[in-house]
Amino acid sequence: MESSQFSDINGGASLMADKDEEGKERPLILRNKAPRWHEQLQCWCLNFRGRVTVDSVKNFQLIAASQPAAGAPTPSQQVPPEHDKIILQFGKVAKDMFTMDYRYPLSAFQAFAICLSSFDTKLACQ
């Protein structure tokens, strides 16, 4: 059985390029991006940059969770939330229609599987 490795176009450092002490690649851990309070709307909001147009409990954005490493910033020095690189975003655009945007290091299959899993746990929430 053959395996393939995804890499970024420039061949430079990527999110998965972090190595542990033994030289092994660390797994990529994704987490939900925390919404920000919108003072005028009086609700929690995520910025989908126009890609998601309908409010839904199924809408989400995933970012890489910060992994402690030598020389890594402490929690008080973390990157501001607006600068988080979104790895996967999924959201509703019409009745029974959704959009999915993903980037490396996720494959289309992985991104689609993650998005499908959001339907299983939120059936009774809408």
What are the domain boundaries of the chain?
30-66+81-125
Read off the pLDDT of residues 11-60 as tens digits, 9 standing for 90 and up: 444 554 566 677 677 888 999 999 999 999 888 899 999 999 998 889 99
The contacts of residue 20 (CB under 8 Å, 6+ apart) are: 26
**The one-letter amino acid at 104:** Y
For the full predicted model, state whether its pTM sits above 0.75.
no
Q: Contact 60/90 with Cβ under 8 angstroms?
A: yes
